[in-house]
Amino acid sequence: MAKGALLFWNCKLNFIVVNSISALKDIRACIVDLDGTLIDTLGDFEVALNAMMAELGRPSVNSSDIARWVGKGSEHLIKTVLLNSFKGTEALGDAAVEELMPAAWKHYQATYLRINGQHSAVFHGAQEGLAALQARGLPLACLTNKPLDFALPLLEAKGLSGYFSHVFGGDSFPRKKPDPLPLIETCKALGTAPFQTLMIGDSANDAQAARAAGCPVVLTTYGYNHGEPVEAVDADGWVSSLVDIEAWMGETAGRNWKS
């Protein structure tokens, strides 16, 4: 958290810490991450990954490790799990992992599609926050590194799909976050300039992509962020609930802030 950041409290005792008032003054659309921002999906990841590991004859993985590894797409997650989970067995090298990837992906995908959403939950305040932003007239897009075939049914199952005019997954573009390309293309789909499009995420992955794309960025304090303190990430603000974002917009609307 930057020195001089401003702290706002709303009536529900949630908070938003803002580094840059000017960066958040002219927001006309929002891009929202999925895992760790809208939905706590660690349970789904744990079930799908451990089913995959069992099929491959590899040791199980725990949710605390998954929380550190999630966020850069399914392929990266599977490779990281295979490289780092070897208790009681021989560790796998890069070549062995690459050889296992087709079978690993097949088992992982089959289980994930079957249990998608059954072991996950919408974060407190997430749906209310989306509703408030939508009511404010802001078009919303969901942008995740999760494969689109996983993201779409999950949003539908959790009652969140109706808030988004666009949903893009990790396979929607040639590159994933933290590359800026997905944000730039999502801004085009929304019809807004990057500097007018707020990225809402939970990790350095989202922040780095936003910075490179020219989007302001606010991060949740309850997400995953690869096991690192999210307040140390270069961002324009941090929220304890998505409802705080719209509340802050309403609190500061019309004020002549200087930054």
Query: Among 111, 143, 112, which Cα is nearest to 215's?
Result: 143
206 is in an annotated binding site: no
Rounded CA-CA distance 59/75 in Å is: 19
SS (H, E, C) 180-205: CHHHHHHHHHHCCCHHHEEEEECCHH
236 is in an annotated binding site: no
For residue 136, the tally of other CB atoms under 10 A from its CB is 14
Contact between 129 and 156 under an 8 Å Cβ cutoff? The reply is no
Rounded CA-CA distance 74/48 in Å is: 11
40 is in an annotated binding site: no
Among all residues, which ones are annotated catalytic? 33
> Which positions make up the binding site for Mg(2+)?
33, 35, 202
> Which positions make up the binding site?
33, 35, 202
